[in-house]
Each structure stands twice: as structure tokens, then as C-alpha cells.
Amino acid sequence: DGGITQSPKYLFRKEGQNVTLSCEQNLNHDAMYWYRQDPGQGLRLIYYSQIVNDFQKGDIAEGYSVSREKKESFPLTVTSAQKNPTAFYLCASTPLAGLYNEQFFGPGTRLTVL
């Protein structure tokens, strides 16, 4: 079955540690996105990539980094510079670069900083 997988589902980290969230898709989609969701709030865009080896900052990129070495993979690293990283992180993809398509979401990773 085609889809987006995110791992792990739950992640705990100590303050000051970097952590990497995985996002893999087998939909052959060109564009991939990372969102952060806090309780009672909408989804805020962290980074997006429209093509391999290229990515752009979203609205809240500070304290995060990404890479896009393969079409199917778009990992997100939450660095120690992110002041309040506890949140629900969602990865999404679209068939083509652009904003006229349905976004397919992964199941999400809930990150808690202890």
C-alpha cells in the first residue's frame, strides 16, 4: 500500500539533545512538507521541499533542519536551538510541487522534551 510513514510515533528527548524524525513516502510524490501542531492550534509549516536536494524554510524554521537526498525521504532534525520543541509533528507530501493538490499526511510523531 502506498503512503507516508513517520517514525517513531512517540519520542522523548532530554533538553539539549538533537533528535531526528523520520518521514518516508512511497507515493512517488515530488513535494514534501513538515508541520508542527500545538494543542488547540493549526498546523504551522516548518520546512518544505519541492525537489530532491532543495528545500525552503517555512514560517517557523528556527531550531530545525532538514535534508532531501532522496525523493522518498525527508527527515527533520529538531536541534537544541529549538526553545520549545514539545509538539505533534506531521509530514505531508503532494504529487507535484505547488499548492493545487491534496496534501497526504503521515500519522505523525509526538515529541516530548523532558
Residue with cell 505523525: 108
Q: Among residues 44 and 71, whose Cβ is nearest to another protein?
A: 44
Which one among 40, 69, 83, 84 touches another protein, defined by CB under 8 A? 40
Q: Among residues 77 and 105, whose Cβ is nearest to another protein?
A: 105
Q: Among residues 19 and 104, whose Cβ is nearest to another protein?
A: 104
> Closest separation between CB of residue 8 and another protein, Å?
15
C-alpha 58/C-alpha 60 separation (Å) is 6
The grid cell for 81 is 536551538
C-alpha 37/C-alpha 43 separation (Å) is 5
Q: Which residues bind another protein (CB under 8 A)?
A: 35, 40-45, 48, 58-59, 90, 99-108, 110
